[in-house]
Amino acid sequence: MADGDTQKAKPRAPEGMAGLAKGLAIIELFQETHDAVTVSSAAQAVGISRASARRCMMTLMDLGFLAKNGSRFSPTPRMLRLGASYAASTPLPQLAQHYLEAARNELHESVSLSILEDGYSVFVARAEVERLVSMVVRIGSRLPAYASATGRVLLSALSDSELDHYLDGIEPKALTSRTITETGHLRDVIKAVRTDRVAISDQELEEGMLSIAIPVTDPEGKVVAAMSLSASSARVPTERMLKEMLPGLRMHADALSRAL
């Protein structure tokens, strides 16, 4: 990927299928961006030629994964099935769903579960409220770990050397006016999560969206996922979320941890 918040591309094995790799990169782009994209913008973001991007996107459209409106392409519901297949076949999302729904029903806010993958927080399970909270979060969404509450929880489980390696390999960009982009500051924030066992993202990913996240651990105490709650910052201020909602979220995350 060529985006500022992505890590440097990994070298591809000589026997790898270049066409497949380009197609998968295009698919991942639609998980990371939340607007319809053009062939030119996709080519630039993925780091391939415009001709290659067009071939990939036209093939995905022919297969029903993308729809075209003028010069812009957007994902179809079929694209969601790619992430749903993981959730349906992996024990953690299946097991977590009951606890996410219980937390949502008690707290009346959307609750999600995420794992860390290649420097991103990837949402693998979710229990939503009926009101619209965010266009950013859905199953399969990939959020830059440095700017998301879930990502900071997951990054806090890394060793100091692993965290330094992650921070050295990214170029944080401001997603909103509140996004922390200075790596020294990010390092301090992430390390504080180790002690506090809670992370906050206050409009750093999306204007008007406030999120908190806490760790989910395995029987050895290793952080395997992050459970998060998101709400409108205008409707739920930070103080209320921490005082009234954090204890309930922690109770359900701890219950999930005991069930692993």
CA distance 5 to 3: 6
pLDDT at 5: 43
Which residues make beta-bridge pairs with 212?
200, 229
| Cα 203 versus chain centre, distance | 15
Q: Which of 4, 228, 32 lies closest to 115 in space, CA to CA?
A: 228
pLDDT digit of tens for each residue in the chain (260 aa)?
334 444 444 444 444 467 788 888 888 787 665 568 899 988 988 889 999 999 999 998 888 888 888 888 888 877 766 665 555 555 788 889 999 999 999 999 999 999 999 899 999 999 988 765 555 667 888 899 999 999 999 999 999 999 999 999 999 999 999 999 999 999 999 999 999 999 999 999 999 999 999 999 988 899 999 999 998 888 889 999 999 999 999 999 999 999 88
pLDDT at 6: 41
What's the pTM value of the predicted model, to 2 decimals?
A: 0.68
Q: How far apart are the first and last CA of the chain?
A: 34
Kindly tell me the sign of the dihedral angle through the C-alpha atoms of 227, 232, 235, 240. positive
Neighbours of 215 (CB within 10 A): 25
All structural domains of the chain = 18-75 (1.10.10.10), 80-259 (3.30.450.40)
Q: Which of 210, 229, 223, 230 lies closest to 254 in space, CA to CA?
A: 223
pLDDT at 83: 61
